Amino acid sequence: MAKENAVLNDEDILNEEFTESFDFDELEEKLQSQLEEEFSILEFLKEEKEKIGNPDALGKVIFDEVWKQFGNQIGLDMTNETLNQKYDREHQGETYEDVGKKVMQDPKYKEANKAMKEQQQSGNLKDEYTGKNINQNENANLDHVVARKELYENARRKQAGINTEDLANKNENLKPTNESLNKSKGAKSVDEYISDREQREKDLREQNERANKKIDESNMSEVEKQKAKEKNNKRLQDKLDADDEMMKKADKKARKAINKDIAKGVAKETAKKAGKDALKQMAVSALFSLLKEAMNGFVRFIKSQTKSFKSFLEEMKKAIKSFFENITNVLQTGASSVVGTIVTEIFGSIVSIFKKLASLIKQGVSSVMEAVRYLNDKENKNKPFSIKVAQVGKIITAGLVAGGAIFLGELFEKLLLSVPGMQIELPLLGTLANIIGMFLASLVSGLVGAIIINLIDKFIAKKQKSDAQAAAIEKQNQIITKQHQIQIVNEVLLDKDKENTQSNISGRHQEAFSIMKDAYGNIMEDFVEDFSENEYSTVIDEKDVIINNEINKTSNDLDDLLDGLK
């Protein structure tokens, strides 16, 4: 209804035309409901004002921050290893020479090489780099288009968890060519090999001339010299016959197939790692959150006057209930971990160089996501800009402090490793030195962070108190306005009741007069007129107090009179 949204002022309510069409009973009911709601909000604001800046609440900041940092450091440490670092750990001690031998001894390479030899013997072997046929009496090689060394050093291959031989010996990467060209290309990529073709060919010709000159100066017979120089010239020509476009085409096809496998492998391994990291982070977060609630419950039990097993169980139930009410925080930790792992692996080749860089990136991602969640929360959209900035400042501060704790923990760990017994390995957590180092780093960083956060909290509390006071005053003004509106509506309703009653009485007077006139002529005219002017038939104006019982009595008397006349 349109009138439900109408804003009424005194003039509107008192307007005669308005009073005829408006449902005042509905308006009164709505205003009363709004008044009750305003009172409820006012009480809530007063309670919130008492909580803001409470010294007991601020005193928990240090404990909460240290506890949070310790749990955070353990979670980050458990997920710190990148896919590259994992590959290097699993292949520790492996050299390029070892890998090179594996590539050449791989069954796939041997089968492809055998098939090439059979094709050469049938006279149908084509050189994939020159476009010429390779004769039966020539030396043919099966070249790795993308060199073994390049694949061995490929960081993305390590992320994908693929062995060098599996990529090097793909069908697309094995191409037959003459032995001279294969040796000339060596471990270079196709782009590297053809980039300086002019200089390379010049060098090759000069080398061939020197080789032929040595032959001429040798003690061989002229026939032997001729055959040796023909071989040299043939080897030179095989190298010069290399076709740039054919080599590029082969390289493009090989790289496409290799990169496809790497991309699929990286996506698969990253997804698996992100899932595992999230579960680890969530498990640690849940454990620490549950322990914190249990500790709070135990403290409440110690402080309580009645210490019984039943009261202890009640406190533990409250702790578990509180934990499940805040379970979304654990889920948010998992979501942040997933994104952090993905971002870390995108920069995997760089991250693997620095031991703790993965943890630092994850912490940064977590802080950014937390800040975004805070700003997108509907409950925070109407908060003052200054409070939003301060709250985001708290989040950033926590992130920076956590970043400092990462490197501080590594420093403590190195110092503690020199102490006997600190090298003991703990499952999933690392050395004893690592655990103690993380705790000390969390303690130091937690204290620093708590001091800064406490200062920010004081600023926020001051601002919130001011806002709460202003809101309470505003709410009180709104209550007064509602009360005034209700008073006006009640007055209008009273006036309408008066008018209706007076109109009803006047109508009955006229009816009585008409009946008596018809029955007795003008005998009763003076009586009715005198009765109409009687003080009991007049509606006293609103300055006097009229009791409804008096009006009802007069009305009843008239009803009796009319009934008697009829």
* Three-state DSSP string of 136-197: CCCCEEEEECCCHHHHHCCHHHHHHCCCHHHHHCCHHHEEEEEHHHHHHHCCCCHHHHHHCH
Token pair, residue 90, equals 């699993």
How many helices and strands in the chain, by DSSP H and E? 23, 4
Token pair, residue 444, equals 């130091």
Q: Do residues 289 and 320 touch, judged by C-beta distance below 8 A?
A: no
- Angstrom distance (rounded) from CA 386 to CA 462: 11
Q: Do residues 133 and 126 touch, judged by C-beta distance below 8 A?
A: yes
pTM: 0.60
Residue 442's nearest CA partner among 84, 43, 63, 47 is: 63
Q: What is the pLDDT of residue 412?
A: 75
CB-based burial label for 436 (10 Å; 0-12, 13-18, 19+): middle
Q: What is the DSSP letter of 133?
A: B
Which 3 state secondary structure label does DSSP give 244?
helix
**Radius of gyration over alpha carbons of the chain, in Å?**
47
Q: Do residues 77 and 454 touch, judged by C-beta distance below 8 A?
A: no
Which 3 state secondary structure label does DSSP give 428?
coil
- Angstrom distance (rounded) from CA 78 to CA 237: 59
Q: What is the pLDDT of residue 252?
A: 95
Q: Who's near 297: CB < 8 A, 6+ residues apart? A: 315, 316, 318, 319
- Angstrom distance (rounded) from CA 79 to CA 274: 9
- Angstrom distance (rounded) from CA 223 to CA 450: 92
Q: Who's near 155: CB < 8 A, 6+ residues apart? A: 84, 348, 349, 352
- Angstrom distance (rounded) from CA 520 to CA 540: 32
Residue 42's nearest CA partner among 457, 408, 469 is: 469
Name 141's bridge partners: 177
Maximum Cα–Cα distance across the chain: 174
Which 3 state secondary structure label does DSSP give 425?
strand
Q: What is the DSSP letter of 126?
A: B
Quickly tell me which residue has 């390779």 as its tokens: 134
Give the 3-state secondary structure percentages of the chain, helix then strand then coil, rounded to 5: 80, 5, 20
Backbone angles phi, psi at 417, to 5 degrees: -60, -20
- Angstrom distance (rounded) from CA 470 to CA 192: 73
Q: What is the pLDDT of residue 108?
A: 94
Q: What is the pLDDT of residue 81?
A: 81
Token pair, residue 71, equals 């749990």
Dihedral sign (CA 165, 166, 171, 172): negative
The ranges of the chain with pLDDT < 70 are 1-70, 72, 76, 348-360, 363, 386-387, 394, 398-399, 402-403, 406, 426-430, 442, 446-447, 449-450, 453-454, 457-480, 482-486, 489, 493, 508-509, 512-513, 515-566
Q: What is the pLDDT of residue 128?
A: 94
- Angstrom distance (rounded) from CA 57 to CA 21: 55
Dihedral sign (CA 103, 108, 114, 116): negative
> Domain extents for the chain?
98-267
Q: What is the pLDDT of residue 182?
A: 92
